[in-house]
Amino acid sequence: MALVRGRAGVRRQQQQRERAARAWETHPVTPGPDTNAVRDLVGWFRREGADLPWRRTRDRWAVLVSEVMLQATPVSRVIPYYNQWMRRWPVPADLAAATVGDALAAWQGLGYPRRARHLHAIATIVTASGWPSSDRYEDLPGVGAYTADALRCFADGQQVLPGDVNVRRVVARRFPGGWPGAPRGRAWDAGQAMMDLGREYCRARAPRCDGGCPVRAGCPAADAGVVDEVTPRTRRQARYEGSLRQRRGFLLRALAEDGRVPVASDPEAAEGLVAEGLADRRGSLLVSAGSAR
């Protein structure tokens, strides 16, 4: 698979424009109340931050696996999957030697299985060609702006704040003037601290402003009583029960257990899985992706 996809130049220009537009990530570090708040936040994180398996490494593959798994999935659910995955495929070459079906079977129950296929594709590319330079992480399959920035910050130690939905919410409430930057050499701690703050205190619903938030002092949103008003709106997730997504999940589970399932059991869901490379078709059967090769 080619590392650089078609129209890569145009895409890269667009990515550069998007990065420049995320001004809060590149805001110069200037002393002031906000930089003091970040320093307090980092201090709090170093004392009380959660001990998570992916925080014990700066290995790019491990960081990528954890970040992909954490997309739209709670930390507690990810931990056993992450541990199992990294035991089985500790380096990209191990996963590249497995089939997509193996990756999908290991992903079973985590949701959004396309992520497993992307990890398999990335493992194949990296094994064949090595990692791209950090300004080209977005060229990897399924790697968007957030995941690329997470690699830059959490694996490469660059002064970038990865802005997932939680971090964007915290920035909007606590740093409405823009992310002031992390203390020198503390970009990793600051990024992880923002994740914990968003999960434990600055939650989307019922934020714990007066329940121990480590950066409550001077918080503009809490002081003005406008926490809800300044919170960025997020799209509601479509209902899962009875959805096509759920039916595709049933088929993938059956494939993980038996390796094959009749297409006729749910032609629409089966067709979608084949179109996305999440399963292969052999005659009237749906089979695990990659098992026919």
Contacting positions for ligand SF4 (CB under 6 A): 173-174, 201-202, 207-209, 213, 215-216, 219, 221-222, 227
Supply the minimum distance, in Å, between the C-beta of residue 54 and ligand SF4.
24
257 an active-site residue? no
Catalytic residue among 67, 200, 229, 271: 67
Supply the minimum distance, in Å, between the C-beta of residue 11 and ligand SF4.
35
- The four Cα atoms 53, 54, 55, 60 give a dihedral, to 10 degrees, of 150
Nearest 5°: phi and psi at 287? -125, 165
Q: Which is nearer to ligand SF4, 43 or 90 (CB)?
A: 43
Q: Which is nearer to ligand SF4, 154 or 201 (CB)?
A: 201
Q: Which two tokens stand for residue 1?
A: 């698979």
What is the C-alpha to C-alpha distance for residues 291 and 293, in angstroms, rounded to an integer? Answer: 6
Q: From residue 248, give the alpha-carbon distance in Å to each of 6, 7, 65, 71, 267.
A: 29, 31, 23, 19, 10
Q: Which is nearer to ligand SF4, 215 or 287 (CB)?
A: 215
Q: Which is nearer to ligand SF4, 78 or 209 (CB)?
A: 209
What is the C-alpha to C-alpha distance for residues 217 and 113, in angstroms, rounded to an integer? Answer: 42
Supply the minimum distance, in Å, between the C-beta of residue 230 and ligand SF4.
9
Supply the minimum distance, in Å, between the C-beta of residue 52 and ligand SF4.
21
Alpha carbon distance, N-terminus to C-terminus of the chain? 16
Active centre residues (catalytic): 67
